[in-house]
Structure 1
Amino acid sequence: MSPDILIHDATVLTVDENNHLYRNGTVVVDDGRIQAVRRSEPDDADAVAETVIDGSGRLVMPGLVNAHAHLELTALTGAFSEMSVGELFAEMTAFCEQLGRGKYEYLVEAGCDLAALNFIRGGITTTNAMEALPSRGADAFGEAGLRGFFGPWISDLFWDIPEDEQFERARSFIEDYHDTYDGRIQATVCPHDDWSCSRDVWERTAELAADFPDLPVHTHLLELGASNTMARANDAEDSLALLDEVGLLDDRLVAAHFRVADEDDIERMAANDASVAHCPSIFCYWEPDGETEWTPVPKLREAGTTVGLGLDDHYWHDSSDLLGEARQARLAANLSFGTNQFHSMELVRMLTIEGARALGVGDELGSIRPGKRADLILLDLSDPKFAPKTNIPALVANAATTADVESTIVDGELLMHDNEVRSMNPEEVCERAETAVERFGDELGWEMDVGGSKPPSHLQTARDLPKRGPAHLVARLGLQHVKDRL
């Protein structure tokens, strides 16, 4: 029988154990899996397949893995761009409280569809997302043909949603969505972070995770200076000690940011096979001062820790270009630690196989090897910016953008081919996003147009803020600061 897809005479960057690169390669896909990757043969162009793609002037590489993301407010891209950090966090805290109570579902649905569309166009085939309402994202990505890891965040000090209700939601989501959409949608356990969760939440999270031992545990870890302070308030020496004590410091852990980590933290992460999701643009955009501590990615990788790349809240920095995160990671590391921190191929691996390994699916995704799932992207290298096509890994890490992605394949299905999205209607998605933003703006008095964004008054934001949880958070941190000084 003829295969489903045959791509011939392409440059093929396999990202396998040896980082094999074919100057003229052929990739054969059938029944959702890669059947062969080899040098092209003269008769490949005349081969019989359901879809034959002439790869001349194209690069075939594994689909990109967005290792840490939030999707729900994608439709508000451009709305936060000019805010200060304080304004941003006030608005987001108010939004999250309202989202947790079921408000603005129309905005969430439109945003998740828009994220799925943009990710298809940008070559992101797998996304690991932590959400207030993860079912919306799971359905959007599942129906679009994408692969996704989703879970509802859990926190008792960030918002005022009752703790029991949060754990019930988490369990229900796992039971309803794990391994759905032909296995492309997977569930995760998501304690929100180490600065807004009490020890009780961490212990209950560990119990939930024990009931579902195959699921990743996705959290924000050592993102803020308050992280270890809250850990001490939770009767632990520091954040990693707390996770270790409750049984969550292991190979299932995917820790976003890890920005204020020290040498001991690095050693403990590596010793326990935990992974890190590095999101450079979000911090470059919002906290780029000389005193900002930077995720020690070079030392983490040197210690043997798996590090993937993520977009985080891409609507905060107005970019869903995961390829751009590779260049940003390089530049930020050079600024913080000195030049030549990464070889270009390391960055390509962080975009693909390392993200897959962080999520526990490196044996199925992240490289082009016979037997693996056929999650592939094709980049058009005909643009003069790629000439003369030397050092392909450097071109991917430094020059390529979402605009260069020509085709996106997930599970052997062409979600986009020749720049035409097949699994969604782009015009309808964009229209729904515009309608949702207009409705949202009218409801809140938030002015958004082509000239910029003017959020509602601080008084309205204050009314929408959660009260009990953040009050307890501030009180616990304040008390611990006093104890630390005594």
Structure 2
Amino acid sequence: MTVTTGELEDETEGTVTDADLVVHDAVVVTVDEDNRIYENGTVVVKDGVITDVRTTRERDRACHADRLIDGEGAVVMPGLVNAHTHLELTPLLGAFSDLDLMEMMGGMTAIFGHIAEGEYDYLTEAGYELAALNFLTGGVTTVNSMDVRPSGGAETFGEAGLRGFFGVALSDLFWDIPVDQQFDRAREFIEEYHGAFDGRIRATINPHDDWSCTRTLWERTADLAAEHPDLLVHTHLLELEASNTMARSNGAEDSLDLLDDVGLLDDRLVAAHFRLADDEDIQRTAEANASVAHCPSIFCYWNTDGDVQWTPVPELRAAGVDVGLGIDDHYWHDSYSLFGEARQARLAANLKRSTGQYDSMELVRMLTIEGAEALGVGDEIGSLEPEKRADIILLDVEKPKFTPLTNIPAQVANNAAPADVETVIVDGNVLLEDGDAKTMDADAVRDRVEAAVDRFESETNWELGIGGSEPPSTMDVVRDLPKRGPSQLLGRLAFQSVRDTFSF
């Protein structure tokens, strides 16, 4: 790590004369190849692109940029990259928090079944708005989201000025929507939204996971990927014990073997979770140049077995695999904080293994540049360097919690929170200033969300009160669940488990 002291550069150095935006006199955490930190730094932006990052010059304070930001008392760093998330059920924050695992899974599956059928649009549209607002105010400038009906997300994030990867979730064993219809939706979404909003919105191809998709669906996914060679393939991989069991049911040795068979184990693959990966899986993933999104909070919250393996992130990174951090279903664990995922990644890994699994700068990199590289855009965003897009956040560190301001990477990974974000810039445009969103009406978003939740309660048997939530009865949930797909899923897993036991 290179730290540049706060001494001003020679006043005779040239004055900035051609810039749209200049941030000066800030602590600048570049997250470049050398992890350079400027104790007293300047970032210069022109036409949405960073043109210079260096120690502040005296003349920077009165230069002729269109927008001049005094960064004294602020840490400037790249915008955060949420490498894996789901957004549609955002208004149900708090609904699942105190349920047991089976209650949560049942209730969630029933709701998603309705969304897949085209219901609850009012809820999901409000959810996208609330998610965009909270991520914007929390310093998350890029999301990679897998949803059932993602058009609302693409529109909302695009209009808010944020960056996003979106795609239609595909599964033939999770809900009962005809597969042809699912792929038609995916193609329509790609045609309409890939490259929209000046390229800030990109489409992805999203087979849901390796435990609720048949080989036929994976093969059709590979065909769709071949039609669109510039799109990422985003999925949940090696998440559950059922993952490799379903792969064997699909005629493969394991999940990675199945993806390799159909032609999807390559540098376009973004695999969320990867909890059960062994050494061979890690090596094959590295050789394929595939990427991983690590989401620690979701599994800390909903851990099914204290002895289950933890995602081998240190080994993945040592093998050269790009690993970003993701919040996953933030409404399952009631947190929008991507900063919190860095801290959780450290604590969970240290508890599961031993202390010292990460140094702080590694976690800062996973929040930013490694998340960008996992999504194939590390040459565009993720660090503060000349010729990269100007996705920048400023943290207010003139607070008692940051005093003394030492070991800034540790402060970011352990101590920073969304409330510390005071300014957000994407593509050189200021989207948040002094904590005030400039591209969204926060009060109107809150009103729409509250109205959507009230309507959801009136149309369902959910009760969502200030003291907690009460889901529908077990019988109501069972009656409401998709029938054909999940029954086939459970049947296939049970049959394969018997085959594994008796080796036939």
Per the normalisation by structure 1, the TM-score is: 0.99
The amino acid of 1:73's aligned partner reads: L
Aligned to 1:251: 267
Distance 2:161 2:25 in 1: 27
Aligned to 2:321: 305
Distance 2:418 2:95 in 1: 22
Alignment partner of 1:285 is 2:301:
yes
Deviation at 1:448, TM superposition (A): 1.2
Deviation at 1:380, TM superposition (A): 0.6
Distance 2:345 2:227 in 1: 36
Distance 2:314 2:29 in 1: 23
Aligned to 2:418: 402
Aligned to 2:20: 4
Distance 1:37 1:427 in 2: 36
Aligned to 1:29: 45
Distance 1:459 1:22 in 2: 60
Aligned to 1:342: 358
Task: Trace 1:90-239 onto structure 2 (pairs within 5 A).
Answer: 90-239=106-255
Aligned to 1:412: 428
Alignment partner of 1:453 is 2:469:
yes
Deviation at 1:292, TM superposition (A): 2.6
Deviation at 1:425, TM superposition (A): 0.5
Distance 2:268 2:477 in 1: 37
- Structure 1 counterpart of 2:379, from 363, 388, 398: 363
Deviations 1:206-242 (A, max 9, x none): 0100110011100000000000000000000000000
Distance 1:406 1:48 in 2: 23
Q: Which runs of 5+ in 2 are unaligned?
A: 1-16
The amino acid of 1:475's aligned partner reads: G
Deviates further, 89-98 or 289-298 = 289-298
Deviations 1:369-417 (A, max 9, x none): 1111010000011111111111111100010000111111111111101
Deviation at 1:447, TM superposition (A): 1.4
Deviations 1:89-130 (A, max 9, x none): 101111111100110000000010000000001000000000
The amino acid of 2:495's aligned partner reads: L
Deviations 1:49-74 (A, max 9, x none): 22111101101100000000000010
Aligned to 2:82: 66
Distance 1:60 1:288 in 2: 39
Deviation at 1:445, TM superposition (A): 2.5
Distance 1:253 1:50 in 2: 40
Identical columns (%): 64
Runs of 4+ with deviation above 3 angstroms: none
- Aligned positions, number: 486
Distance 1:181 1:198 in 2: 35
SS of the residue 1:312 aligns to = coil
Deviation at 1:446, TM superposition (A): 1.5
Deviates further, 158-167 or 460-469 = 460-469
Deviation at 1:245, TM superposition (A): 0.7
Aligned to 2:400: 384
Per the normalisation by structure 2, the TM-score is: 0.95
Distance 2:67 2:436 in 1: 15
The amino acid of 2:294's aligned partner reads: H
Aligned to 2:388: 372
Task: Trace 1:412-451 onto structure 2 (pairs within 5 A).
Answer: 412-451=428-467
Distance 1:461 1:302 in 2: 44
Distance 1:175 1:331 in 2: 42
The amino acid of 2:265's aligned partner reads: L
Distance 2:25 2:102 in 1: 52
SS of the residue 1:277 aligns to = strand
Distance 1:249 1:275 in 2: 10
Deviations 1:288-315 (A, max 9, x none): 7521321111111111111000000001
Distance 1:481 1:310 in 2: 31
Q: 1:288 to 1:409 in 2, by over 3 A?
A: farther
Aligned to 2:487: 471
Distance 2:495 2:394 in 1: 54
Aligned to 1:50: 66
Q: Which runs of 5+ in 1 are unaligned?
A: none
Q: 1:22 to 1:288 in 2, by over 3 A?
A: farther
The amino acid of 1:429's aligned partner reads: V
Distance 1:111 1:395 in 2: 31
Aligned to 2:11: none
Distance 1:445 1:257 in 2: 32
Deviation at 1:337, TM superposition (A): 1.8
Distance 2:459 2:393 in 1: 40
Distance 2:197 2:133 in 1: 17
The amino acid of 2:491's aligned partner reads: A
SS of the residue 1:290 aligns to = coil
SS of the residue 1:393 aligns to = helix
Distance 1:359 1:156 in 2: 26
- Structure 2 counterpart of 1:321, from 337, 350, 369: 337
Distance 1:429 1:107 in 2: 12
Aligned to 1:88: 104
